[in-house]
Amino acid sequence: MQDDYGAAGGPLISMAMWEAFTYPHLKRMVEAVHDAGALLMLHSCGHQMPFLPYYVEAGVDILQSFQPKADNDFALAYERYGDRLAFATGIDIQRGESMSPQELREEISRYDHQGRRHGRFILATTHMMQCTMPAENVRAIFETVHEIHEGVHG
């Protein structure tokens, strides 16, 4: 399911309005998906921190696109909710464009290491790959993910 609730620095609408007008529908959709025997992955860009307790309460299984550039704190979010909410994140496409290949590799490895603690983590991109990503960084992403898959990073 996709619905962007956040902007770069905060919610798109007030939390009071979101809770009154959007949250009840989110809960019903999660319930319908679970009744059908499936998991619900929610894609929502932007600042997600104020929504996390609601996602957990509603039963969202996976949150995709937890963007650091939007002032999201993965370590804090995962510590508070990682035992009940899976995060699909860790390969920061937006900030990765300005990182060195080594900085990008180290960040991906750090996210992967943090995300393994509760076992509810999918190493994934935080945004679509853009043509502005340097080729050496694209290689660094693929090599790092391959090394993680092979157990080289631990």
- Name the nearest CA neighbour of 69 among 112, 41, 42, 98: 98
CATH of the domain at 21: 3.20.20.210
Question: Quick check: is 19 in a domain?
Answer: yes
Whole-angstrom distance, CA of residue 58 vs CA of residue 29: 9
Question: Quick check: is 33 in a domain?
Answer: yes
Token pair, residue 30, equals 């999660």
Question: Quick check: is 9 in a domain?
Answer: no
pLDDT exceeds 90 at position 9: no
Question: Quick check: is 7 in a domain?
Answer: no
Whole-angstrom distance, CA of residue 136 vs CA of residue 11: 34
Segment 63-95, tens digit of pLDDT: 998 898 899 999 999 999 999 999 999 999 999
Segment 87-145, tens digit of pLDDT: 999 999 999 999 999 999 999 999 999 998 888 999 999 988 999 999 999 999 999 99
pLDDT at 6 (0 to 100): 93
Question: Quick check: is 5 in a domain?
Answer: no
- In sequence order, the 6+-apart residues with CB closer than 8 A to the CB of 86 are 61, 62, 63, 120, 121, 122
C-beta of residue 91 within 8 angstroms of C-beta of residue 142: no
Structural domain count of the chain: 1
Question: Quick check: is 10 in a domain?
Answer: no
Question: Quick check: is 3 in a domain?
Answer: no
> At residue 143, what is the residue type?
E
Identify the domain containing residue 70 by its residue range. Answer: 15-149
Question: Quick check: is 2 in a domain?
Answer: no
